[in-house]
């Protein structure tokens, strides 16, 4: 707890291009949380290293993600927006916690199995111990709540197990994090395959709308979106493509699904898809304009990075010192 506020922690990897799914399903829901919680939002660049990165491109994407956080509406004065790799305590605590994590626990992680199958030429130790670094991310800030989706639920469970194991031996050192259940967040699926989630790494670029897509591209992708052989716009499990587009439309405009359905009574799929595209453009255009403005403010962004990195390091190192003391590691003598 910081200044009588509970701590909430999350972040995104600095790879790929964020999609409208990332925004509607997560980022959009982060915007008002700082009123109630002390929020830490990481640019998770260390996690990204489990896959080989092109250094110059990777460095640029990481900075762009931080700028995008701010352009989307996260106030860097009210939220701690920082680079994971700039706070060395993440890597240090990860090693320490790794000594309290069992091989069997890591072997059971479904995400490792999925990623190992996808990257058969690079099944590295970092991919295997990824959940330990994630546990360090969360536990460093004495986090009370972590927004999680189904794909991250297992990682939070192992984080809790590691923290409870450590506390069982050394006392009440680490806060046991709880899942934060967001308000009904949108689950946005691929425009080309509505059976799978929209992904920033989708090989089919027409399956995802990226936050930096221009209006013409957004219109083209929406027009190509998979629907069905019927003509009625309604939300139904039997109509996954249409339901996905309704989800996007309603979430962009702040409407309920029922209200969205009423907008398209007697309307054909062509006009429906155009309306979805216009709804997406209406929320992305202001964000893109602010993003482009911020990219020109190098000194301002640099000052935000320095200020927020320093804040993150302060709280992270407080926890790290407690852990090292409990473990009996020799303290560094202070200069006279």
| Fold for the domain defined by 205-293 | Tyrosyl-Transfer RNA Synthetase (1.10.240)
Q: What's the confidence (pLDDT) of residue 29?
A: 85
Task: Please report, for the chain, the start and end positions of each structural domain, with discontinuous segments joined by +.
Answer: 6-181+298-327, 205-293
pLDDT digits (tens, 9 = 90+) for 253-279: 989 999 999 999 989 999 999 999 999
* CATH of span 6-181+298-327: 3.40.50.620
Question: The whole model's pTM is what?
Answer: 0.88
Write out the catalytic residue numbers: 115, 197, 200
Q: What's the confidence (pLDDT) of residue 122?
A: 76
- The three-state secondary structure class of 123 is coil
SS3 content of the chain, % helix, strand, coil (to 5): 55, 10, 35
Share of the chain above pLDDT 90, in %: 71
User: Closest Cα partner for 253 from 236, 233, 278?
Assistant: 278
How buried is residue 290: exposed, middle or buried, by Cβ count under 10 Å (0-12/13-18/19+)?
middle
pLDDT digits (tens, 9 = 90+) for 68-122: 999 999 999 999 999 999 999 999 999 999 999 999 899 888 777 777 777 677 7
Exposure string of 38-70, with b = 16+ CB inside 10 Å and e = fewer, is bbbbbbbbbbbbbbebeeeebeebbbbbbbbbb
**Could you give the CA distance from residue 145 to residue 138 in angstroms, rounded to a whole number?**
9
């Amino acid at each position: 707890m910081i200044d009588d506020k509970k701590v909430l922690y999350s972040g995104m990897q600095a790879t790929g291009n964020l999609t409208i799914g990332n925004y509607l399903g997560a980022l959009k829901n982060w915007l008002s949380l700082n009123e109630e919680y002390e929020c830490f939002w990481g640019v998770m660049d260390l996690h990204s290293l489990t896959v080989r990165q092109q250094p110059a491109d990777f460095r640029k994407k990481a900075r762009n993600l931080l700028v995008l956080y701010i352009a989307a509406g996260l106030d860097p004065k009210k939220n701690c927006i920082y680079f994971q790799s700039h706070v060395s305590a993440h890597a240090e605590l990860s090693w320490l916690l790794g000594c309290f994590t069992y091989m069997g626990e890591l072997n059971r992680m479904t995400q490792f199995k999925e990623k190992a199958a996808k990257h058969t030429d690079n099944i590295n130790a970092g991919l295997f111990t990824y959940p330990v670094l994630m546990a360090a991310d969360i536990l460093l800030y004495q986090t009370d709540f972590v927004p999680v989706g189904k794909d991250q639920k297992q990682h939070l469970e192992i984080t809790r197990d590691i923290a409870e194991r450590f506390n069982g031996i050394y006392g009440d050192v680490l806060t046991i994090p709880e899942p934060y259940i967001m308000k009904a967040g949108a689950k946005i699926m691929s425009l080309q395959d509505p059976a799978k989630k929209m992904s920033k790494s989708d090989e089919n670029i027409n399956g995802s709308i990226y936050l930096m897509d221009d209006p013409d591209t957004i219109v083209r992708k929406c027009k190509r979106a998979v629907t069905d052989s019927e003509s009625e716009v309604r939300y139904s499990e039997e109509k996954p493509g249409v339901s996905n587009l309704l989800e996007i439309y309603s979430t962009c405009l702040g409407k309920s699904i029922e209200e969205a359905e009423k907008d398209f009574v007697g309307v054909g799929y062509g006009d429906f898809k155009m309306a979805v595209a216009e709804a997406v453009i209406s929320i992305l255009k202001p964000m893109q304009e602010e993003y482009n403005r911020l990219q020109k403010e190098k000194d301002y962004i640099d000052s935000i990075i320095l200020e927020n990195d320093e804040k993150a390091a302060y709280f992270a190192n407080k926890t790290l010192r407690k852990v090292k003391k409990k473990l009996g590691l020799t303290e560094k003598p202070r200069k006279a």
